[in-house]
Structure 1
């Protein structure tokens, strides 16, 4: 690729400077050359070289405002804010209309967390600058620091009106819209932006993301298609396209899109996992398992990969293998309530009731409040003869599910089993009032107490 004259000059200046450092010969550079060299080293994170260049620059050009402004930038970078401000005040006395002075003042106040004052200086800079886009972009960032998302959004939009190719500003505009929960407004804005810049793959990609978030998968797919047509190596767009196709149940097309991400970059465990899921939904069980195994080979610490294999074997009712793989997932994340619930369910299917009880207990401990989890847990406690623990557990469940007939019938049955008839009568009355048609649940769960006169009287009384 042929370099422009400016790029050639820049590279020559850089080579000349580095050669000078090696030979200790002092060579002359004009002030603009020095500015570019210093900023290059700052961008590269080579602060010591930037300081060397600045020292030489100021020796050769002691009155250069541009170099002194670079010096200010470096002082701000080093958090020497008072020294930087003093130098700026000196420069202001010489050049009061230099917009860079106000921009650097804003930078100082931003570092001091006085973002309102920083915005004031940036507004003044707008009066003197030719680069409106840069100043509006800086204002947008200050408003973000203040959590003023509306003003930030407005500033980034103004930045894009001046420079519609500023991709960072485009991302920031979308971020503001999303944070303000204005997804549809963001889509409308991007549609206008695309009218001006139809070949912006970023705009199409962001449009697709927003449609996807609104569950508008057809529109999302269309946007991702455009993004990948404009840039056929846009990894993120291919990944999002694949997810949209999956949502639309176009599993073969989704596999093709996921495969494209693998062509563009080394296989990711996420892509391999999703390909496996697509194959499973297509009924390709062998291929599904092959990709699930590839997933965990690629990333052995990806618990979702082990869970995918667990679920695969659960569907095949191969509980022995399912138990092996759910334990793999729990070794990685042993505080995941969904994994503990799977562990419990698998053990229950294998008639390992103590292990199942432990699994349901851990699931609840880590935040599972689903009614069926409580009920499975209690039924196992009852099976194990731990009636009092079962009652305590149901009373916990009743805090989440007030007057749920499934809880009330079980409480009634357990109290009758323990011959605490007063409490039994109270809960059977609650249960019958809540759902009389399900009273046969007592017979199914507690056949021992079903024929007792106290139970039948309560049922008959409610029936009448």
Structure 2
């Protein structure tokens, strides 16, 4: 039984799905099949899309558009040889169809042959009436090739064709930022805004660039214009609040963060920023309230746990700080920042064994910051575990070989461990790195100032360095 095609896509899809459930055969125009196939592919229903292609080609075996959609699915499934064969057939029939070159470019791109993809897209460009999509594809290929200048130019052409192409607008700004041409980005966005003065996206992007350049007055004005253009634009309120924070206008910042919460469901990031503002204002109870809400809203947000931990640490509520950092560690024991914070709290509590363990965990998980090595060494010195102190500092010196203070501390550890030759070698290295830091060594290890041989050794090194 053959039926007429429908002019409404939803009806075409319903009729197609009805046909699949029965033994009836319905007839569709080729354009109907294209809409049906696009619907399934855009919604990730590949098997239904393939079924529609199969039936479509049975009813319209000469349709180039349906064959190109077949190619698209073949490429998606990495069946490049079959796709190329079908493209060869199509090109013999219609050598001026730009979609053939676009699909060939897609195949080359998926095989990481980005320059060849560019060459094919440039050929497609010569054939196309509407080149917007091709410029966008070229821009992406140039990004894959790390050619941000050409990518920028391609995306700028997309924006010229279509002022509402915000994806390309974002990509233009991204290229400017990667090229560190912030002034160029500002010039581009201001020109764009002269043509589109109520584009909230452009105002938002301009504000973020001004913010990165610490031009806070200009950033604030940009975010205000973004809000005027769209008073429900959450991102603009949030970024405006961040600027107000930088300017020390915490109450106004809180108002803007609260606006984001009133427009949409609360986020942990908004709670966190409000908490920080209240902490700056000395509103400790409110700061605690918002920090608690932060970790309740998103227990995986490390900044939330660190904020509430640091809040109690600053108030010298070390037991409270320890309670919250332990809760964080129970949630994510692989976070080295949590372990480093734990070590800091245990050090304040003078629980050096636990501090030692926490620093070890932090380093094992990849935290190699300078103060981690130095503070861990200090903990081990307090435990009189000089061998372990040496081991930690030797490892730390691999990351910071030119750091004089670490070299002086290692020299002191060698002396405490009775390793005089190693102590002399490391002390000489430290003095060559920065002789002015010798006073730090003498203050940290005063017991060695009575040793005549050490005073003579220091004098000799000073003479050779002058």
* TM-score interval (norm. to shorter): 0.7 to 0.9
Equivalent runs, 1:128-167 vs 2, <5 Å: 128-167=127-166
- CA distance in 1 between partners of 2:360 and 2:56 (Å): 71
Residue 314 (structure 1) shift:
1.2
Matching of residue 98 in structure 1 with residue 97 in structure 2: yes
- CA-based RMSD: 3.6
Q: For residue 204 of structure 1, what is the aligned residue in structure 2? A: 203
Sort the Cα spacing of 1:30 and 1:284 in 2 relative to 1 into closer, same or farther, 3 A: same
- Alignment TM-score, normalising by the size of structure 2: 0.83
What is the alpha-carbon distance in structure 2 between the residues aligned to residue 218 and residue 411 of structure 1?
A: 51
Tell whether the 8 Å contact from 1:304 to 1:329 is kept in structure 2 after alignment.
no
CA displacement at 1:289 relative to structure 2? 0.4
- Return the TM-score normalized by structure 1: 0.83
Identify the residue that residue 404 of structure 1 maps to in structure 2: 404
CA contact 1:428–1:458 (8 Å) conserved in 2: no
The Cα shift of 1:307 comes to 1.9
Query: 343-352 or 56-65: which moved more?
Result: 56-65
Q: Give, in angstroms, the shift of residue 113 of structure 1.
A: 3.5
The aligned counterpart of 2:267 is: 268
Contact 2:414 2:422 in 1 (8 A): no
CA offset digits 1:197-240 (Å, max 9, x no partner): 22222222222232333333333332222223222232333332
Are the aligned partners of 2:408 and 2:438 in contact in 1 as well (CA < 8 Å)?
no
Whole-Å Cα distance in 1 between the matches of residues 422 and 108 of structure 2?
A: 69
* Distance apart, 1:290 and its partner CA: 0.7
Q: Are the equivalent residues in 2 in contact too, given 1:409–1:439 (CA < 8 A)?
A: no
Counterpart for residue 4 of structure 1: none
C-alpha change, 1:67 and 1:435, in structure 2 (3 Å) is closer
Q: 1:21 to 1:373 in 2, by over 3 A?
A: closer
Relative distance call for 1:412 and 1:194 in structure 2 (3 A) is same
Map 1:239-388 to 2 at 5 A.
Answer: 239-366=238-365, 373-388=372-387
1:72–1:84 CA contact under 8 A, matched in 2: yes
Change in Cα spacing, 1:410 to 1:99, as seen in structure 2 (3 Å) is closer
Taking a change above 3 Å as real, the CA distance of residues 432 and 261 of structure 1, as seen in their structure-2 partners, is same
Maintained 8 Å contact 2:189/2:206: yes
Q: Are the counterparts in 1 of residues 381 and 389 from structure 2 also a CA contact under 8 Å?
A: yes
Aligned residues between the structures: 456
Instruction: Give, in whole Å, the separation in 2 of the partners of 1:156 and 1:114.
Output: 21
How many Å apart are 1:193 and its aligned residue?
A: 1.9
Please give the alpha-carbon distance, in whole angstroms, between the structure 1 residues aligned to 2:384 and 2:147: 60
SS of 1:66's partner is helix
Indicate conservation of the 8 Å contact 1:412/1:426, yes or no: no
- How far residue 394 of structure 1 moved from its aligned partner, in angstroms, is 4.8
Give the gaps of 5 or more residues in structure 2.
1-5
Aligned to 2:213: 214
- Shift, 1:333, TM fit: 4.1
Check 1:86–1:393 CA distance in 2 against 1; reply closer, same or farther (3 A cut): closer
1:123 counterpart residue number: 122
Residues 68-104 of structure 1: CA distance to partner in whole angstroms, max 9, x if unpaired? Answer: 3333333333433333333333333333333333323
CA apart distance, 1:284: 0.5
Q: Deviation per CA, 1:334-393, whole angstroms, max 9, x where unpaired?
A: 455543343233223223232233334444555556665545444443333334444554
Quick one: distance in 2 between partners of 1:105 and 1:413? 66
| 1:381-408 Cα distance to aligned partner (Å, 9 max, x none) | 3333334444554555566365736853
Q: 1:260 to 1:459 in 2, by over 3 A?
A: same
Please give the per-residue CA displacement for 1:136-160, whole angstroms capped at 9, x wherever unaligned. 1122222233333222222222222
Distance 2:259 2:283 in 1: 20
